[in-house]
Structure 1
Amino acid sequence: MSQSIETGYLNYEQASDYTGLSQRTLRRLVARGDLKAYKFPGVKNVLIDPKDIKRALKPVTPLAEHNAMARAIAGDAA
């Protein structure tokens, strides 16, 4: 078991395995500020706390509910 998993933090590769997202997608989420990442000054490796991954998740609105809301909004705008 790698050290970062033992300490509770994941590198991009481990976070990718954990989430099923590509490392590139994780890097984009971090760059946009949608996912927190940590590093020590002067150190290249970035670490991600799995708790921050869970906090970054947003609930998905079911399509039927989304469509009903969109129709309601469109009706209000008319």
Structure 2
Amino acid sequence: IFGTKYIGLLYGFVFLSHQVGSFLGAYLGGLFYDIYGNFDYAWYVSIALSIFAGLIHLPIKEKAIERAQPA
């Protein structure tokens, strides 16, 4: 979709968001355990976020990229 021109920038965004999510997941999981004494609410939040992520990907229409054919 974006080509190779921006691949470094796109990888940077992907991995930055992954690391922020990993940090927040570990931190909030521990916080929920400290507050509630178990991980139940951490699981509920994880399930809700997973369902949300799946739903926002439903409208994506993947199109094949046309490539130049050799002569």
Pick the TM interval, shorter chain: under 0.3
TM-score (normalizing by structure 1): 0.24
User: What is the TM-score normalised by the length of structure 2?
Assistant: 0.26
Pick the structure with more helix per residue. 2
* Bigger Rg, which one: 2
Larger RCO: 1 or 2 (CA < 8 Å, sep 6+):
1
